[in-house]
Amino acid sequence: MTISSGRQPLLDALTHLGAHAGKRASHARGYCAVGHFAPHANAAHFADIAILRDGPLPATVRFSVGGSDPAISEKTRNLRGMAVRVHGEHESYDMVLVSEPIFYAATPVSYLSYLEAQAADPNTGVPDPQRIAAHEQRHPDTLRLPALLASHAAPSSYACTPYHSTHAFLFTGADGVARPARLMAVPEAGTRYLSAAQERQLPSAFLEREMDERLLQGPIRFQLYAQLPAAGDPLDDPSMPWQGQERVPLGALLITALADTSCDFMTFMPTRLPTGIAASDDPMLRARANVYASASLARRR
- Measured from the Cβ of residue 164, the count of other Cβ atoms closer than 10 Å reads 22
End-to-end CA distance of the chain: 28
Q: How far apart are CA 188 and CA 281, in angstroms?
A: 32
Q: Is 156 within 8 Å of 198 (Cβ atoms)?
A: yes
Tell me what pLDDT residue 210 has.
95
Of 87, 76, 81, 77, nearest in space to 37 by CA:
87
The number of domains in the chain is 1
Q: Do the bridges between strand 169-172 and strand 163-164 make them parallel or antiparallel, or are there none, so unpaired?
A: unpaired
**Phi, psi (deg, nearest 5) at residue 240:** -105, 130
Residues 6+ away with beta carbon under 8 Å from 129: none
- Three-state SS for 170? strand
Please list the pLDDT of the chain residue by residue as tens digits (301 residues).
343 444 566 666 555 555 555 566 677 789 999 999 999 999 988 999 999 988 799 999 999 998 777 888 999 999 999 999 999 988 999 999 999 999 999 999 998 898 888 888 888 888 889 999 999 999 999 999 999 999 999 999 999 999 999 999 999 998 899 999 999 999 999 999 999 999 999 999 999 999 999 999 999 999 999 999 999 999 999 999 999 999 999 999 999 999 988 888 888 999 999 999 999 999 999 888 777 665 455 444 4
Q: CATH code at 277?
A: 2.40.180.10
Report CA torsion sign: 255, 258, 261, 264: positive
Query: Domain range for residue 174?
Result: 3-300
**Phi, psi (deg, nearest 5) at residue 249:** -70, 130
Of 45, 54, 114, 39, nearest in space to 89 by CA:
54
Tell me what pLDDT residue 118 has.
84
Query: Where is 256: in which H helix or E strand?
Result: strand 247-258
